Structure 1
Amino acid sequence: MQANTAPDLQPDASTMTAHVLVNIKSGRGAGHPDIQDLERAFEDNGINARIIRLTPGEDIPARAAQLARDGADLVVAAGGDGTICAVASGLVGTQTAMGVIPLGTFNYFGRSLDIPEDAAEAIAVIARNRRKALPVGIINDRVFLNNTSLGIYPQILRTRETVYARWGRSRIAAYWSVLKTMLRLPRRLKLQVTADGETREIKTSLLFAVSNAFQLEQMGLEGAECIEAGQLAVLIAPNAGRLGLLKNGLALMLGRAQRDQDFDLLCAQSLHITCKRKSLLVARDGERTRIKGPFDLELRQGALTVVTPHGEDGVVR
């Protein structure tokens, strides 16, 4: 995958065809647009749109990559952060730009770029067609746009799926999933982490690597300076017992987690992680995948072109 660059302003929207990959089940449901709403909004903005409704279990990265190989100039991801990450995975390193219609619960990626959470307003941003080359996080050749993690967080996501199935999608349900998982006191990981030529032995319940400064700020966490310097912000939970784990988790949920107390912070352009276990459950932008170790992480500059409200004038996200 090679870095991609793009001019800030592309041809008029009326000359574009947008291939729109839609996960209509993303998000909380209230005020959620249907396919007809999306078609109407694209038409109102003078964009020729080909709406593609994603099916459960579909290989979204492969679908996006095929569109890029077929010469698509613009592929739009309509869904939550997991769907957007999957579409981006197929477009990284190509000349195809990605538009975004945030339909998820948290929408960290879209919000970090000031993309409206209202679908019609997001489509108006796509119509203005201002493009920005963005860095993306990579773990073992898999893309993440906001964060990736080892340890307790993938287990939280597994619990969250059960909670969502019973109570529906909401931020309160997401927070309850965190607390419910921590009460079980999951096993800690013994990791060997190498960054900038220095290797350290770590025993932790969570290693959380973030590529989105906006998400850190929303969670009340330090580390944005790492991302502004072109590095990943790697947060590592201290080795603590049940009470310590609950304390750290509650501090994180309430946005009161403090560096060197509730987490250690490591800034790194890339890092190499080994673990005695042959594979681990890894979370990437809210989705879970089992990946074989060792684990190589990096922040790859300019790898993805995204349509944003501000184009290249936007700040570090």
Structure 2
Amino acid sequence: MSKKVLLEVKNVKQHFRIDRKTIVKAVDDISFEIYEGETFGLVGESGSGKSTTGRTIIRLYDPTDGEVTFDGKNISAKKLTKEDRAYVNKNMQMIFQDPMACLNPRMTVSDIIAEGLDIHGLCKTKEDRTQRVYELLRTVGLNEQHASRYPHEFSGGQRQRIGIARALAIEPKFIIADEPISALDVSIQAQVVNLLRKLQTENGLTYLFIAHDLSMVKYISDRIGVMNKGKLVELATADELYENPLHPYTKSLLSAIPLPDPDYEKGRTRIKYDSKMHDYSRETPQWVEIRPGHFIYGSKSELDQYEIELTTKEITI
């Protein structure tokens, strides 16, 4: 992983108007950076805004406000130049949560995988196209015989591999993986995650890995951001976040992770989170770097308490 910033999200908002009086703030003024070659995990409960963040980055939704910069190009501008749009489409791809819903049931696997190749004119001949499809199938653990089949003929794990092959087809720099394993069996989840890690090493890929399973996110991520109700509430390296969680919401999520230890599970105490514990009527919350690389969202009094907590741990250690 290099320290070159590949993607920067700056004060991004994504608000949806339900009716004349109701606006849902799905993403509400968040900022973070993703370095080239890293996996940035984004976690939170359903409805926290993490998937909306991914879809806003890739321009499935136009942002309400804020700026997204990819490889030095502002890709959140309302009117992208033809060249910039082509660059983004070529270098940014997405793996979706439901491997069946995102594959056209009327298209063969070969045509699904080659769709990006056709759009960008990356294969000069039909034979080149066929060989590229075969190569991609082998890369994700499938074989040439699968090319002529249709999505309904595959298992969930195989369909997700097809989705990964499609995302890899045009050799992107950056992939948004939106809950790519949540619809799969546990044994298959590990296979898909290991495949993503292998492909990252071989191709120098950068991932935004969106999920709610913190144990799996820790396994694959270099850094992790925690979202709650449209806000980014904490961000740190994977090890730092698990060893020194500060925000009550992060602690609540971590306390829910089960371990394969019956004795531990019998005594495990789930930390309950209530957003009412934050009183921001008198103090405006801020997004601050409390330690190098460790960011936290809170009011002045909360930040003081977090500082005491970290200092106490350092003294104890």
Identify whether the pair has TM-score above 0.5, normalized to the shorter chain: no
Give the strand-richer structure, 1 or 2: 1
- Structure number with the higher helix fraction is 2
Q: Give TM-score scaled by structure 2 length.
A: 0.29
Higher relative contact order (CA 8 A, sep 6+): 1
Larger gyration radius, structure 1 or structure 2:
2
